[in-house]
Amino acid sequence: MNFRFFNALALSAALTAATVAPSFAQAPFRTAEPQSFTAAELQAYGLDAAATERAIALQQEGHEIRVLSEEEAAAYQAGITDTQWLLIGILAGVIVIAVVVAD
């Protein structure tokens, strides 16, 4: 019984390490400093009237607006976050342990 438990524990640790490690390989995301924009500037970047109105309202509430290139925006929104990798690893570990304990 102990042998099976330690095998499951080792497998769980390996799965957790394998799922969490890739997220640390990414370079930190860097972009331009936030700045205030006028409605005309926002529309020049391609925002429609409704989006411009919303952006100005958010800006007045204290939110920061940053201009990103299409490549930066894609990199910013791509992939799985560190937290999601960690949760996947923990879930894999729990499943392995549950299977071993159930036998």
Q: What is the pLDDT of residues 59-84, one digit of tens each?
A: 899 888 877 777 877 777 667 778 88
Q: Find the mean pLDDT for residues 84-98.
A: 90
Q: Is the pTM of this model over 0.75?
A: no
3 state SS of 36: coil
The rounded distance, in Å, linking the Cα atoms of 11 and 55 is 49
Mean residue pLDDT of the chain comes to 77
Sign (positive or negative) of CA dihedral 4, 8, 13, 19: positive
Q: Are 23 and 83 in contact (CB under 8 A)?
A: no
pLDDT, residue 24, reads 45
Task: Report pLDDT for 19.
Answer: 53
CA 57 to CA 79: how far, in whole Å? 30
**pLDDT for residue 32 is more than 70:** no
The pLDDT value given to residue 16:
65
Beta bridge mates, 35: 65
